[in-house]
Structure 1
Amino acid sequence: MPIGHHNLTLITVQNRSLYTNWLVEFEQYNEKIHFSNELNELFEPAKSYYWLGDLMLTVDLNKLFQKSIQDIMIEFLSDEEQSQIMTTNQQIQSLILQNSYKLDLPIEITSSFTISQIYKKIRFSFFDSVEITPLEKIETLLKSFALTHNEKLLVFTNLTHYFDSKDFDKLNELLSDYDQTALSIEFNQSKSSDDHSDYLIDEDFCLFES
């Protein structure tokens, strides 16, 4: 099945057993799943795609990107901003040292943090509102993947549960804007005339394994 770059490919599966097997194999990065390029060169599953599953039920933006976003924020710091952070850190240590004098004990402050260590002490999280709005959530997801230079296929399930025709048009714009490619595996036993599927696997499909 050809998958277009920088847009969404929808596969509708009407065979429940096949759908269930696919989800398990995708989630486990099973070797039965094969991806290749235009030259038919095969890639390992783990290097080919990123399993995400249900956008609203299993995708946790904070778990996915909290660490990488911290690293990116540090990369974006200018020399002046780094200097300001270290100056502020020294001021905080000075205040702590002054406060220690109240104890009238022979103690000293020796802690010295790097910028990376300072950022690790600060908890970053996405707005709660982003997590409850499908289109806003997937835009944040795609933008975050773009910032981390992701080139893997993003694999979802049942995006049609959350998006209508207008949303799918917007989603394809976002995929193009952020240079990302997505696949959604849908389970639907009744294919309607307004279905957006690129591929349909009907309920009579039989899988033969040697």
Structure 2
Amino acid sequence: MKLTYYGYQPFDVQPGEITVLATAAPKIYHDLVIGLRDDMDTVRLASDDFELLKHSQASHWYGDPVLEIDLNKIFQRKLQDLFLKSLSEKQVVQLTDDWQRIITQILGDSYLLDVPLNVPETPALAKLVKLSGLQLEESVNREPYGILETLIKTLVELNDQKMVVLTNISHYLQVPRLKMLRKVVATTYLPVLDIEFSENRQKDYFKECRYHFIDHDFILW
């Protein structure tokens, strides 16, 4: 995929890699953020064959790992749907039978009230899964690396191949953690873009990533 910002050659964002677009220029950072977050024309996305792509079709904005990403808010419903699709016919029958036994038990205990009670219908399995609150463990939301690793792994499970757009991951990850994240990304087909606001070049920190830096004077390094 190619990302174009006016005045510069297109930036390649390749699957299985972390591409970093860092800048010390507030205007450029602003343009990149609103372009990718709010689907504005300050940034253009295109295929490797230079076919223009709509942002919503080609990328997902996730932003700041700590301030913006709530994994369960983003993925809970999708993971519940995936869980249901992953069940074998035998497992569906077993879960349905188990739920029917619970209903039978409830009705069996309804004598505790001196009024006639009944369960009008057995809820669909999808509704039962939703009522269960099935979700990612809260522990993965407690520290930045866990958030990012789980984000990538969840997108792989969901077979979502859109570009992952993050911001300022250098604020949260030390070099060993960044290396671990890069290795996770390298095992996937996901293109990952990190937009950084930084006064100085961080080429050494991002040495294992595809790194670009635009300074205060709008010069690309």
Q: TM-score, normalised by structure 1?
A: 0.90
Please say if residues 80 and 135 of structure 2, whose CA atoms lie closer than 8 Å, have aligned partners that are also in contact: no
Q: Does residue 198 in structure 1 map to residue 211 in structure 2?
A: yes
1:139 aligns with 2:127: no
1:88 paired to 2:98: yes
Q: Deviations over 1:19-39 (max 9, x none)?
A: 123212221111332111221
Describe the SS at the equivalent of 2:101. helix
Q: Is the 8 A contact 2:79 2:135 kept in 1?
A: no
> How far apart, in 2, do the equivalents of 1:112 and 1:177 lie?
43
* Structure 2: unaligned runs, 5 residues or longer: 1-10
Task: Determine the C-alpha separation between the residues in 1 that align with 2:203 and 2:130.
Answer: 51
- Tell me how far apart the structure 1 counterparts of residues 111 and 95 of structure 2 sit (CA, whole Å): 25
Query: Which stretch has the larger CA shift, 125-134 or 27-36?
Result: 125-134
**Displacement of 1:153:** 0.4
Q: Percent identity?
A: 25
Give CA-to-partner distance per residue, 1:39-89, whole Å, 9 cap, x none.
111101111110011011110000111001101111121222211111111
Corresponding position of 1:103: 113
Residue 163 (str. 1) matches residue 163 (str. 2) = no
* Counterpart code for 1:54: D
Kindly state the Cα deviation for residue 195 of structure 1 after the two structures are TM-superposed.
4.1
Contact 1:154 1:181 (8 Å CA) reproduced: yes
Task: Give the letter for the 1:203 counterpart.
Answer: H
Specify the code of the residue in structure 1 equivalent to 2:127.
Q
Q: Offset at 1:107?
A: 3.7
One-letter amino acid of the structure 1 residue matched with residue 144 of structure 2 = P
Using the TM superposition, name which of 80-89 and 49-58 deviates more.
80-89
Q: CA deviation at 1:136?
A: 2.0
Establish whether residue 74 from structure 1 lines up as the match of residue 84 from structure 2: yes
Query: Map of 1:147-186 to 2, 5 A cutoff?
Result: 147-186=157-196
Alignment partners' CA distance in 1, 2:166 and 2:159: 19
How many equivalent residue pairs? 206
CA RMSD of aligned residues (A): 1.8
Do the aligned residues in 2 keep the contact of 1:33 with 1:45 (CA within 8 Å)? no
Distance (whole Å) between structure 2 residues aligned to residue 139 and residue 193 of structure 1 = 22
1:57 equivalenced with 2:67 (yes/no): yes
What is the CA–CA distance in structure 2 between the aligned matches of 1:36 and 1:193, rounded to whole Å?
A: 26
- Runs (5+) with no aligned partner, structure 1: none
Instruction: Normalising by structure 2, report the TM-score.
Output: 0.86
Distance in 2, matches of 1:21 and 1:32, equals: 6
Secondary structure of 1:205's partner?
A: coil
Aligned to 1:130: 140
Deviations 1:164-192 (A, max 9, x none): 33323222211122321100010111225
1:189 matches 2:199: yes
Aligned partner (choices 105, 117, 121) of residue 127 of structure 2: 117
